[in-house]
């Protein structure tokens, strides 16, 4: 019988990104071209992109969330992200995974997003 393992204390809720990969910055820039239609800030600055994992071969796996599970574009936004990131030279494939854990909160927004939305 197997038991689900509890997260270790101190383990990150969000998997780390492959920030040292040469494609990381171009992939992030591609994510910045995708906007939630109801909020005038890109999804990266909103904090909706949790993880950008890039393999040596150029396969990109993105773990993201939405501002709310009932978001009207929940079925479409992952496709928008795939289309934006696939266009980056050197990217071999793109897989976007949606998660609700941890749930998105306003504290996940960048300072730029807070400023744009008038929270600073």
- Span 6-45, pLDDT tens digits: 555 655 678 889 899 999 999 999 999 999 888 889 999 9
Packing angle, helices 24-31 and 77-86, rounded to 10: 140
Cis peptide leading into residue 29 (ω within 30°): no
Angle in degrees, CA 18, 108, 17, rounded to 5:
5
pLDDT, tens digit (0-9, with 9 covering 90-100), for 43-85: 999 999 999 999 999 999 999 999 888 888 888 999 999 999 9
- For the chain, domains (ranges, CATH) are 23-108 (3.30.300.130)
Tell me the Ramachandran region of residue 112: left when phi exceeds 0, alpha when psi lies from -120 to 50, beta otherwise: alpha
Task: With beta carbons less than 8 A apart as the criterion, state whether 96 and 50 touch.
Answer: no
């Amino acid at each position: 019988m197997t038991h689900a393992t509890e997260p270790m204390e101190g383990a990150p809720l969000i998997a780390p990104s492959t920030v040292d990969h040469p494609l990381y910055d171009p992939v992030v820039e591609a994510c910045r071209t995708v906007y939630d239609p109801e909020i005038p800030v890109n999804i990266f600055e909103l904090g909706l992109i949790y993880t950008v994992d890039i393999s040596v071969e150029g396969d990109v796996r993105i773990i993201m969330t939405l501002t709310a599970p009932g978001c009207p574009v929940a079925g479409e936004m992952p496709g928008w992200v795939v289309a934006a990131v696939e266009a980056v030279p050197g990217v071999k494939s793109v897989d976007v995974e949606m998660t609700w854990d941890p749930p998105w909160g306003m504290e996940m927004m960048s300072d730029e997003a807070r400023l744009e939305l008038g929270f600073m």
